[in-house]
Amino acid sequence: MPIEALKRRIKTTEDLREIVNNMKMLSSVSIGQYEQANAVLDKYRRNIRDAFHALIINHGIPNINKQAIIKNKYLYVLIGSDNGMIGRFNKEIIEAVNKDMKQRHIAKQDIIFMILGKRLAMMSEQTGWNLWTCYGMVNSVKAVAGLAGSVILKIDEATRKEHVTNVSVWFHQRKNNSTVNLEKRDIIPFAVERLHKLKAQKWETNNIPMLPVEPQKMFAALVKEMLMSALSKLINSSLAAEHYTRMTNMQNAEKNIDENLAIMNLEYQQQRQEEITDELIDVISGAEAMKK
């Protein structure tokens, strides 16, 4: 390769390395933001749990009217990504859901899908799934609550209009700060056994909060807040996992770029040295000719 072309290629590769490094740093910062948001949500969820506890102590476990279920109908909420540089992030969800449906013998007509991420929705078109609704995936901590609120409203609509009895969320989560796993979380029906566990626990002080709200209304509001906080946390976890996947890919790309740069710089130095040697030979040969 001509030395000038090699020089331009080295410059282009160095620019690419800078872009990759900036993307890696951006993902690293984003991971911290989403995980910090989840830490705040954990504290809020403890407050909700305490409110449930106080409600049970004052009024007992609320009456949950369960209608007779003739046949289960499922809603799967799939949290994907609308961004690139994440490998099989979206495809892994489709493969896992198909496998789950097959193992549990769930017919396609008994399940509807809500997909967060338009890329994932487009990939699902060939599956034959009943795509009930789709949202674009958010890209900031501030937008998570709005998306979670929209999903909650749609879940409520699904239970009323589509007679959904079971709601599960599929999402990616970073484990042990080193791996990303695809997980499934069931959020409906509500786990009543948690209330019985709270009933068995003693309040930490002698001052039990009074809740000046009709018990059934209070219970419904707390369930909504619990679902809202749970969904927000799962969306944050998925976004953090997405950025971790991208950061890992950028680290690998950066390593490959550094290796290629080392090879190109060595080749450039060799060609430059040969060029200088040729120039010196020309000068010496000219000087010898002048002497003669």
Instruction: Dump pLDDT digits (tens) for 55-112.
Output: 998 888 877 666 555 689 999 999 999 999 999 999 999 999 999 999 999 999 999 9
Per-residue model confidence (pLDDT) at position 66: 60
- pTM for the structure as a whole: 0.89
Share of the chain above pLDDT 70, in %: 97
DSSP percent split of the chain into helix, strand, coil, nearest 5: 65, 15, 20
Across residues 261-274, what is the average pLDDT?
91
Per-residue model confidence (pLDDT) at position 173: 96
Calculate the alpha carbon distances from 270 to 2, 5, 12, 129, 257 in Å.
12, 14, 20, 59, 20
For the chain, what is the largest distance between any 2 Cα atoms, rounded to a whole number of angstroms? 116
Per-residue model confidence (pLDDT) at position 61: 85
Dihedral of alpha carbons 193, 199, 205, 211, sign: positive
Dihedral of alpha carbons 183, 188, 190, 193, sign: negative
Closest CA to 191 of 145, 230, 140: 230
Q: How confident is the model at residue 26 (pLDDT cuts 50, 70, 90)?
A: very high
The residue count for the chain: 292
Calculate the alpha carbon distances from 168 to 76, 223, 280 in Å.
5, 16, 75
One-letter identity of residue 100 = D
Per-residue model confidence (pLDDT) at position 207: 85
Per-residue model confidence (pLDDT) at position 3: 86
Instruction: Dump pLDDT digits (tens) for 34-58.
Output: 999 999 999 999 999 999 999 998 8
Out of 75-79, 112-116, 139-143, 216-220, which region has the weakest mean confidence (pLDDT)? Answer: 216-220
Per-residue model confidence (pLDDT) at position 89: 96
Across residues 116-127, what is the average pLDDT?
95
Cα separation, 269 vs 187, whole angstroms: 62
Q: Where are the alpha helices (DSSP H) in 137-192?
A: 141-161
Q: What is the set of domains in the chain, with CATH numbers?
A: 3-25+248-291 (1.10.287), 34-245 (3.40.1380.10)
Token pair for 39: 């830490």
The pLDDT of residue 15 is above 60: yes
Helices H / strands E in the chain, number of each: 6, 5
Residue pair 261/17 in contact (Cβ under 8 Å)? The answer is yes
